Structure 1
Amino acid sequence: MADPRACVAAGWARPERGKVKINVDAGVKEGVGTSWGIVCRGADGMMLWGATIQARALYHPTLVEAVAILSGLQEAASRGIRRLIVEEDCEVVIEDLKKRRTGRNDIFLVYYDILKLCRRFDDVSFSFVRRSWNKVAHGYAHVLSWEEGRRSWEGVFPPSITALADADLINT
């Protein structure tokens, strides 16, 4: 039996059977706006759905990373997903959520909404991943053409995103 740590060392790792993995990423493009990407993949590594949200508003990058997680959880809940792993490449947000940190600024209001939404799932965990292991969500947030609003895909995905997802599977 293969050592599961070997998969993690190589890059993106498939979730265990019975769970899905949601990877999210966000960014701010100065002078343009804010964007975040979400991808949901099953235990076979195949993409189930993905989305990008792009807005003209400029927010602090850490806040947008938290909003990306909230959006991913909202999408998962609306699809009836019950067991999931959320991966993000912003370590401070992941650690804050794991520690259930509270405070009085905007990001903590988003954390509150995330943790409240987590009650709708049977099992949800948060993990920090390196950006190089989060390529598909990064692609949804940064690679696709900039177009204000929300776009989503299920079944058929943009070729640039499919190429990123296929490259991940080579390592798993």
Structure 2
Amino acid sequence: MGIGVVCRDERGVALWGWGERRRQEHDGRVAEAEAVIVGLRWALKMKHKTVRVESDCQDVVDALHGRSLGRSDFHSVISDILDLCNNFNYVSWSLISRRYNRAAHNLAHFCTLGSGNFYDGTTMPRHIVEMAKADLNARKKI
């Protein structure tokens, strides 16, 4: 399973990212929820106060909007995410197509198994930086 998070500014410039490959096998929605919580934890470390979370997983976005209740591993991660949100001034959730989320998806698969890698704006792999800009620019054309 891979987890990829890319933090961009409003112009699409990649500010930082996190990529990790794990041996765990979860369904896609648990992996996506774990990516959200990793992203929020890094956003806290980087002292962001306003966060816009974009996910290509409908189940995650619905659960974060309170449309999905349960006691599964997935819902436990969702509960942790919502608790973490109390540390921000503003958090929003939106569903995006995977074709506009290529940077995070590729970063999740870029890292070697068993390692987590933080990248700042100067160490981020160039192809991920370019994908982050392209993802945002492609959405603006819709």
TM over 0.5, yes or no?
Answer: yes
Aligned to 1:88: 55
1:120 and 2:116 aligned:
no
Q: Is the 8 A contact 2:111 2:117 kept in 1?
A: no
Q: Deviations over 1:39-97 (max 9, x none)?
A: 00112221110110111121222111111111111110111111110000001110111
Larger RCO: Structure 1 or Structure 2 (Cα < 8 Å, ≥ 6 residues apart)? 2
What is the TM-score when the length of structure 2 is the normalising length? 0.89
Q: Is the 8 A contact 2:56 2:97 kept in 1?
A: yes
1:66 and 2:66 aligned:
no
1:78 and 2:42 aligned:
no
In structure 1, what is the Cα distance between the partners aligned to 2:136 and 2:79? 34
Could you list the structure 1 runs, at least 4 aligned residues long, displaced by more than 6 angstroms after superposition. none
Whichever residue aligns with residue 147 of structure 1, its letter is L
Identity over aligned pairs, percent: 35
- Which of 120, 130, 141 is the equivalent residue of 1:154? 120
Q: Is the 8 A contact 2:53 2:92 kept in 1?
A: yes
Matched position secondary structure for 1:113? helix
What is the 5 A alignment of 1:32-47? 34-47=1-14
Whichever residue aligns with residue 89 of structure 1, its letter is D
More helix by share: 2
- Which of 101, 108, 113 is the equivalent residue of 1:134? 101
Aligned to 2:21: 54
What is the TM-score when the length of structure 1 is the normalising length? 0.74
Q: CA RMSD in A?
A: 1.6
Runs of 5+ unmatched residues, structure 2:
none
Task: Mark the CA change 1:169 to 1:105 in structure 2 (over 3 Å): closer, same or farther.
Answer: closer
More deviation, 61-70/122-131: 61-70
Bigger CA radius of gyration: 1
In structure 2, what is the Cα distance between the partners aligned to 1:69 and 1:145? 18
In structure 1, what is the Cα distance between the partners aligned to 2:115 and 2:85? 25
Q: Is the 8 A contact 2:33 2:77 kept in 1?
A: yes
